[in-house]
Amino acid sequence: MIFIEFYTGNRDIDELIRNATTILFYGVAGSGKTSMLITIAGNYCRNVKCLYISTEETLHYEKVAVNPDKYRDVLFTEVYDFNKLVELATLIYLYGSNVVFVDSLNSLFRLEPLAENSTSRLAYVVASIRGVVEDAGGKMFASAQVRAWEGESEPVGKPVLEYYFDVIIELNIGDSVRYARIVKPKHMGREKLHRFRITREGVEWI
């Protein structure tokens, strides 16, 4: 039997994550992005030093409080300025973390989509973090937002994200249920929907 490391609890998705360095979850507000990352942190960051960077005021500490022992090896920090995120990415190696979470990667970038060099700075953030975790044999997990109010379903900064992330998964909200759809790698069956619900502790697949 082949052992598959436990990340999300979904066998198909976890098998992809196991062989990837960078993993991205994107979707509209309320689709479960933060809950997914919190679930992965709780499952995977046991005896693995992890850094969890939140760029939004939506980090669900109540989920962490349900079972704090699961997160004893996770350092949580918050960044609310894009320039500070760039600075943090530059110094990420100082934290000594093999695994880095960024929730959300493009929320600050989204606020300045027309700013000069904003796309190149987003690329710099992703490339810097990827370089550190890759050298350490670790992983980078991130979430990304979409401009749902503009009728878009693609993440802000899509070309950068597609280039740097090995696995990309769309999260969305259906009729009384949320679902995940594998977007990259493309051969993994983009039409298959993996349904889940959000619980007090994180994500539960159904």
Domains annotated on the chain, with CATH = 11-205 (3.40.50.300)
State percent of the chain over pLDDT 90.
49
Radius of gyration of the chain (CA): 16
User: Looking at residue 58, what is its pLDDT?
Assistant: 62
Closest alpha carbon to 118 in 90, 157, 84: 157
Longest CA pairwise span in the chain (Å): 52
HSE at residue 110, side-chain half, CA atoms within 13 A, is 20
118-127 per-position pLDDT tens digit: 788 888 889 9
Q: Is the pLDDT of residue 3 over 50?
A: no
15-35 per-position pLDDT tens digit: 999 999 999 999 998 899 999
User: Looking at residue 156, what is its pLDDT?
Assistant: 79
26-77 per-position pLDDT tens digit: 999 889 999 999 999 999 998 889 999 998 776 667 788 888 999 999 999 9
Cβ partners under 8 Å of residue 175, min gap 6: none
184-202 per-position pLDDT tens digit: 998 766 678 999 999 888 8
Residue 181 has φ and ψ, to the nearest 5°, of -135, 125
Average pLDDT, the chain: 86
